[in-house]
Amino acid sequence: MIKESTSIPENIQVIGLGQACLDFLGRLKVYPEEDGKCELLDLHIQCGGPASTALVALSRLGIHTSFLGSISDDHFGSEIAKGLKDEKVDSTYLKITPGYTSQFAFIAITQAGAKRTVFWHRGSVPHLRAADVDLSPFSKAKILHLDGLMIEACLEAARQARKKGLSVIMDAGTMRDRSRELVSLVDVLIASEGFAEPLVGRGAPPEKALAALRELGPKEVIITRGSKGSVGLSHKELLFQKAFSIDSVDTTGAGDVYHGGYIYGLLQGWDAPECMRFASATAALKCRQIGARKGIPGLEEIKEFLSLQ
C-alpha cells in the first residue's frame, strides 16, 4: 500500500527513486580470513542506500527533495523512514508494505586504510512497480535521480520525467538486465568503474569506457574511480577531476554523496568540470566520519574547503 497523503511540498526540486537501507557498520583492525573471527572495535547504526543518501546530501545543501522507494513496517523500515524525516527528505510517496523485511546491510571497515566490505540483503519487501510511479504531483521538480535497481519503476519514472521536461540522472553501479534500456533515457550517467566492463572488458582505459557509455544515449557521462578521482565526457571534452586528499575514516556512501553534490551543481547551472569538483569535495568531506550520512557536509563547509585547495 502507499501511505495516504493528499499533498506534497510544492517546492520539491529533486525526486529520487531507488534504495533505502539500514546499515550496521563495524570497525575492525584486520579483516579476518574465511572461517576465522575477529572482535569489532565498535558498532555504528545509520541509514544508507544510494538514491536516498544522495537526497540527504542535497537536503543538507538546502535543496528540497522527495524520495520514492519501498520499505516494510519492520524495525529496519521504521528506522529508514525516521532517517528520511530527520533529514527533511519528503517521503509522501514512500511505499510501505506491511509484513515483510526492509533492506539492510552489514559493513566491515578495516582500521588501516579505511577499506570496507559490504554484505547486504535487499529484504523481502516487494519492489516498486511501474504502476506505483506517478510524477504528476511534482509540479516544480527539475531533476529525477535513479539508482537503477528497481528497473520497472525506474524505466517508468524516466519516461514520465522526460515527458515533463525533467533531467534524468542515474547512479550506475552494476550492469543488470535492462540497464542499457534505462541508460538510453538518461541525461547524465554517473557510473562506477565496473559498470562499463560488460561493454569494454576489465581494465579498459577510462576514455574507452566513457565513449562506450556515451553511445548508449546520455549527454554526459562521469565515471567515479574512488581514490583515483573521477573522469567525464561532456560534449566532446574529456574531463579529469582528482580526489581531494583527506584523512579518510570510512568511504561508505562516498559515491552516493558525490551524486548529490553533482546534482547540486546542475541545479546551479554549473558546467561539468565545476560539478565534478564540487561533488568530489563533498564526497571527500563525508569520508571523515563513519557511515553514509553522518559526515555529509553543509554548503559553507564545502566552500571553505574548496577555497583552500
Please check whether residue 297 lies inside any domain of the structure.
Answer: yes
Total of domains in the chain = 1
Cα separation, 19 vs 292, whole angstroms? 13
Please check whether residue 73 lies inside any domain of the structure.
Answer: yes
Please check whether residue 238 lies inside any domain of the structure.
Answer: yes
Residue of 42, 47, 85 lying closest to 292 (CA atoms): 47
Please check whether residue 27 lies inside any domain of the structure.
Answer: no
> So what's the pLDDT on residue 10?
83
> So what's the pLDDT on residue 220?
97
Q: Is 51 in a helix, a strand, or coil?
A: helix
Query: Mean pLDDT of successive 10-residue segments in the chain (309 residues)?
Result: 55 97 95 92 96 98 98 98 98 97 96 83 97 96 96 98 98 94 98 94 93 97 95 94 94 96 98 98 97 97 97
> So what's the pLDDT on residue 173?
93
From the CB of residue 34, how many other CB atoms can be counted at a distance below 10 Å? 4
Give the CATH number for residue 93. 3.40.1190.20
> So what's the pLDDT on residue 157?
98
Please count the CA atoms within 13 angstroms of the CA of 121 that sit on its side-chain side.
10
| DSSP H or E segment with residue 119 | strand 116-121
Reported pTM: 0.95
> To 5 degrees, how large is the angle CA 48–CA 151–CA 58?
35
Domain that holds residue 89: 14-20+50-101+127-307
> So what's the pLDDT on residue 5?
45
> So what's the pLDDT on residue 7?
66
